[in-house]
Amino acid sequence: MKLEEILNKENYSRDEIIYLLNLKNPEEMQKLYKHADEVRKRYCGDEVHMRGIIEISNYCEQNCLYCGLREDNISLERFRMSVEEIIETANQITKLGIFTIVLQSGEDSEFDADFISHIIFSIKQKSNAAITLSLGERGFDEYRAWKIAGADRYLLKHETSNKKLYSLYHSKQKLIDRINHIKFLKRIGYQVGSGNMIGLPMQTIEDIADDILLCKELDLDMAAFGPFIPSPNTPYHSKNAGSPELTLKVTAVLRLVLKNVHIPATTALDTLDQLGREKGLNVGANVIMPDLTPHPYRDNYQIYPGKRGVADDPVESALKLQRRVEALGRKISFSRGDSMKIVLPAL
Ligand code: SF4
């Protein structure tokens, strides 16, 4: 296969994606990155969208083998933010000029349909910021209630499209259910994000190619692919972390294959590589997601250890990120950064 021919294609086969993910020659990798950056510029422009994350609860009823929030991790100090704290933090985020608020938690049924609806409604009373929910796999009635209350987007990562690995990592869950939830969310009008984790134990390059193709098939609005980082007190605590270099290749290939979707340069990449955000933004990413969870909670949202910026003041940390983006010659967007695709009205 000739690299130039592949790079200029409109659609990519599984074999071509695998070929790109397997590139090792530094010169060829630079060509891939440059081309992905050009495609990003063509479809998304130079603006970088900021999504302000509030980690509202670190309780979780699941036991994913790779995650520090898993229910069996009894060494983790658990928290739930109060309604007032969540709403106040959301207000502060919009004052920073960030107009997407991501409410994130483990799968915590204590935060039920009414509780989350009340928060969404209260935030929407004061601002037109977009609200993204990242609350795990929840009931279809809950998704619907939250959409009616004003939620705009839902982030539900599939983590792996390999059915066997999915069942291994998530003993209580099935891949088919996860995909059906993603399809349902799209159907009722959410802008939907999903993605995988790169470097999970036993994952192959072919699996990652399938993850990318699944994102295309699901016609996502956002795709987030970050590296796996082993977490203490989990069954995978002694496994190797995902490779930052492979994460960059995946980011570039995602941009080539998916084109007009939002792709973040993830905090996990920035944790493994001091210039991870810059490198991600240079190879196809157009989004960053600063953690604006207030102290003392932010220290205890430990999906993985050593998260970059966790000890910092959240506002200072977000401003520092803005400066890093601007130093690249990219502009911070002050819009909501909605889907670049047509979104159906809510049911
Ligand atoms: S990945 Fe999500 S659902 Fe799984 S244990 Fe962690 S927080 Fe819970």
Best of 57, 65, 107, 172 for a ligand 1 pocket test (most atoms within 8 Å of beta carbon): 107
pTM given for the model:
0.96
Chain mean pLDDT for the chain: 96
Residue 345 has pLDDT above 80, yes or no: no
**Per-residue pLDDT tens digits for 267-290:** 999 999 999 999 999 999 999 999
Q: What's the pLDDT score for residue 1?
A: 73
Residue minimizing CA distance to atom 4 of ligand 1: 64
Pocket flag, ligand 1, residue 64 (CB < 6 Å) = yes
Distance 7 CA to ligand 1 centre (A): 36
Pocket flag, ligand 1, residue 69 (CB < 6 Å) = yes
**Per-residue pLDDT tens digits for 107-146:** 999 999 999 999 999 999 999 999 999 999 999 999 999 9
Residue minimizing CA distance to atom 2 of ligand 1: 106
Buried (b) or exposed (e) across 184-218, using 16+ Cβ within 10 A? ebbebbbbbbbbbbbbbeebebebbbbbbbbbbeb
| Mean pLDDT for the stretch of residues 146-153 | 98
Residue carrying the six token digits 């049924």 = 109
CB 142 within 8 A of CB 113: yes
Q: What's the pLDDT score for residue 230?
A: 98
Cβ contacts of 102 within 8 Å, gap of 6 or more: 51, 52, 53, 54, 131, 132, 133, 134, 155, 289
**Per-residue pLDDT tens digits for 207-244:** 999 999 999 999 999 999 999 999 999 999 999 999 99
Cα–Cα nearest to 68, from 325, 282, 342, 306: 306
Q: State what percent of residues in the chain have pLDDT above 90.
A: 94
Tell which atom from ligand 1 comes closest to the C-alpha of 159. 1
Residue 240, sorted as left (phi over 0), alpha (psi -120 to 50) or beta, turns out to be beta
Taken in order of first residue, the domains within the chain and their CATH numbers are: 12-22+29-332 (3.20.20.70)
**Per-residue pLDDT tens digits for 179-214:** 999 999 999 999 999 999 999 999 999 999 999 999
| Mean pLDDT for the stretch of residues 152-160 | 97
Q: What's the pLDDT score for residue 342?
A: 67
Distance CA 78, CA 143 (A): 25
Distance 68 CA to ligand 1 centre (A): 8
Distance 136 CA to ligand 1 centre (A): 7
Best of 57, 58, 65, 70 for a ligand 1 pocket test (most atoms within 8 Å of beta carbon): 70
Tell which atom from ligand 1 comes closest to the C-alpha of 170. 4
Pocket flag, ligand 1, residue 68 (CB < 6 Å) = no
**Per-residue pLDDT tens digits for 278-330:** 999 999 999 999 999 999 999 999 899 989 889 999 999 999 999 999 999 99
Distance 182 CA to ligand 1 centre (A): 16
Residue 347 has pLDDT above 80, yes or no: no
